[in-house]
Chain A
Amino acid sequence: MKNVKISDRELLLLYKQGDEQAFSMLLERHKDRVYTTVYLIVKDKYLAEDLLQEVFIKAITMIKADRYKDEGKFLSWILRIAHNMAIDQYRKAKRSPIIMMEDGSNIFNTLAFSETSFEDVQIKQDTHDLLKVLIKELPDSQREVLVMRHYMQMSFQEIAASTNVSINTALGRMRYALINLRKKLQQNTVAYDPKLYPT
């Protein structure tokens, strides 16, 4: 079976009939987007791993119990589950903050102390790694809009309705998120421009 030729709807139909290969394809197709969404909300890789598992377990349970009614929006549905679970976790974690190590592990699980510093950010020259750090540093409201627009593929109108704000507020948050990211990307690029720091 070629992954690209079969729609989510067809894969779901096959999966409901017991075809595990169909589920494997669905998972392969959407796992990174779901993981990125929860990771950028909870900002902790271990928690994000648990959430990824919980999200798909919930989806599997609902599909196999025939409680999922497919309207051709599987990705939106699973991303909504992921978003809700991640927001719940994030709020819980905020109420009882855990001090994390730079690799995302709990400080109480290790003896060596280290903190994510600006220097750590600077040495991550790769744009992917840098974006990962910089998105995490955005204020919650800006990060939420960015995640919803880019990874949950929601329109600004939908984001405004979902977050109970006006469309102008949602647009303003996105605008500041982009401005902040661009500024920080420029700062980090300039900081490690080899032309400025010849060896």
Chain B
Amino acid sequence: MTLNFTPHDALKCLYKEASNETEEKINIARKEYPSFNNEVLKLQSLVCSLDLFLIKAPVNTVDRILQYSKNKQVKSA
């Protein structure tokens, strides 16, 4: 299969940073080549997992920040 865009174009498309024209080329290729579409779907799933991946901030540290804020004076105008 011959694709008329680069892997970097596909990556930009994955992250919604590609031009409309490139996006269209990629969408056409996805319909035409199921194996390519499959690859894109797998990467989309990984990108989605990464977006959702957040590590919970420790409660003790958060409490200390709140305490610091309460004790810190506001600069008077």
- Contacts from A to B (Cβ < 8 Å): 16, 18, 20, 23-24, 27, 31-36, 39, 45, 49, 52-53, 56-57, 60-61, 64-66, 127-128, 131-132, 135, 146, 149-151, 155-156, 168, 171-172, 174-175, 178, 181-182, 185
Contact = CB atoms under 8 A, between A and B. Distances in A.
Determine the interface band of chain B, counting residues with CB < 8 A from chain A: 20 to 34
A128 B53 contact: yes
Contact of B65 (A56, A132, A175): A56
A47 to B, nearest CB: 12
A64 B56 contact: no
A177 B1 CA distance: 25
A132 B55 contact: yes
Q: Among A23, A53, A64, A128, which residue has the most Cβ atoms of chain B within 10 A?
A: A53
A34 B61 CA distance: 12
Does more than half of chain B's interface fall in helix, strand or loop, or is it mixed?
helix
Given A36-B54, A65-B75, A155-B17, 18 more contacts: A27-B62, A33-B54, A34-B57, A35-B56, A36-B55, A53-B65, A53-B68, A56-B65, A56-B69, A57-B65, A60-B65, A64-B74, A128-B53, A131-B53, A174-B15, A178-B11, A178-B43, A182-B43
A27 B68 CA distance: 12
Contacts of A174: 11, 15
Nearest to A16: B74
B74 A178 contact: no
A170 B75 CA distance: 42
B34 interface: no
Does more than half of chain A's interface fall in helix, strand or loop, or is it mixed?
helix
A181 to B, nearest CB: 6
Given A52-B57, A53-B61, A23 B69 contact: yes
